[in-house]
């Protein structure tokens, strides 16, 4: 990140542009997820954009920098927790009962849960595929 | 409707190029062209929601294909059993055409939807779900169930891939 030389990742130009545009991409993903209930978009598209922003870090700075911002334990906890909340909301809403903790069933929480699951899941798939690929393992 | 036919011809041509070209990177680019064509087709058919999702998923899959799978050591086999392959391809194509002919006779005409399915939603969604109105019943009950299936499929894929990656890293530490 300092001089761009002898570091993993791409050239200095790509790193600078990545540092400038990263927050906007992440913010746009969150906006698409939150506004998608009645407008075009939705949790899935927003989650894919969030995953793309982390993949962006990983391509530009190398995989250590990306995993330093988002540890794999944190990633696993977030994805599993959001999936459990979603499962609970979907199961309760079909029993015909008005649920006691109605905040989880609101229009704010469900797109966020979907965004976390999709974004974290796709980023995990990308990390795992890069870790699995043969050339990267041989170069270590 | 001329533009949708143009897009379809473009997509079919790109798919044929993706199958026939020798270079793997060019094949990946041609697959991306098919996805862009599908996204434009969704836009023409007045579904910007699906067009946006198709576009971002297409970008992600293109990055994954380029970064994580294109290597020089990919195993590639083009020889052997071409009689069986051709026969099975023709057989499945015939089966697909027969069933498509049967199925396409039954669906309603394009852009003339019947009210058969939506009438059930209007009549029974309030009593069936316990929501306060029909719109919230659909957005928080039926769409949530739809999304739950999507999330379950993705979650199973993530669990499987993480399990495989963990096993490989254990092997690497042991050796």
**CB contact (8 A) between residue A45 and residue B157:** no
**B56 vs A45, A59, A114: nearest CB:** A45
> Considering only CA atoms, which of A129, A73, A130, A79 is closest in space to residue B155?
A79
Share of chain B above pLDDT 90, in %: 25
Q: Would you say residue A105 has pLDDT above 90?
A: no
Chain B touched by A100 (CB under 8 Å)? no
pLDDT tens per residue, range A16-70: 999 899 999 999 988 888 887 677 777 888 889 999 998 888 888 877 777 787 7
pLDDT tens per residue, range A64-96: 777 787 777 788 888 888 888 888 877 776 665
Q: For residues B106-142, b (16+ Cβ closer than 10 Å) or e, as one string?
A: eeeeeeeeeeeeeeeeeeebeeebbbeeeeebbebbb
Contacts of A85 in chain B (CB under 8 A): none
- The model's pTM: 0.75
Q: For residues B24-50, b (16+ Cβ closer than 10 Å) or e, as one string?
A: beebbbbbbbbbbbbbbbbbeeeeeeb
More confident call, B119 vs A45: A45
Contacts of B157 in chain A (CB under 8 A): 121, 125
Q: Would you say residue A140 has pLDDT above 60?
A: no
């Amino acid at each position: 990140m300092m001089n761009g030389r002898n570091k993993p990742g791409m050239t200095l130009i790509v790193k600078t542009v990545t540092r400038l545009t990263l927050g906007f991409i992440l913010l746009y993903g969150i906006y698409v997820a939150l506004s998608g209930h009645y407008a075009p978009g939705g949790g899935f598209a927003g989650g894919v954009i969030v995953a793309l922003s982390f993949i962006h870090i990983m391509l530009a700075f190398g995989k250590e920098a990306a995993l330093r911002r988002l540890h794999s334990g944190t990633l696993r906890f977030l994805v599993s927790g959001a999936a459990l909340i979603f499962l609970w909301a979907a199961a309760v809403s079909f029993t015909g009962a008005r649920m006691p903790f109605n905040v989880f069933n609101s229009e704010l929480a469900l797109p966020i849960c979907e965004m976390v699951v999709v974004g974290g899941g796709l980023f995990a798939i990308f990390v795992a595929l890069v870790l699995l690929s043969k050339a990267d393992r041989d170069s270590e | 409707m001329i533009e949708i036919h143009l897009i379809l011809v473009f997509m079919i041509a790109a798919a044929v190029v993706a199958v026939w070209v020798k270079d793997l990177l060019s094949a990946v680019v041609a697959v991306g062209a098919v996805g862009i064509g599908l996204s434009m087709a969704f836009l023409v058919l007045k579904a910007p929601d699906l067009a946006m999702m198709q576009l971002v998923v297409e970008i992600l899959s293109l990055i994954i294909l380029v970064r994580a799978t294109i290597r020089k050591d990919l195993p590639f086999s083009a020889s052997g059993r071409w009689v069986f392959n051709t026969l099975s391809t023709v057989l499945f194509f015939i089966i697909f055409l027969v069933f498509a002919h049967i199925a396409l006779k039954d669906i309603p005409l394009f852009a003339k939807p019947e009210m058969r399915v939506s009438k059930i939603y209007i009549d029974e969604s309030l009593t069936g779900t316990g929501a306060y109105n029909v719109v919230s019943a659909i957005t928080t009950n039926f769409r949530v169930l739809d999304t739950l299936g999507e999330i379950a499929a993705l979650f199973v894929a993530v669990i499987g891939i993480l399990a495989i990656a963990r096993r490989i890293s254990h092997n690497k530490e042991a050796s």
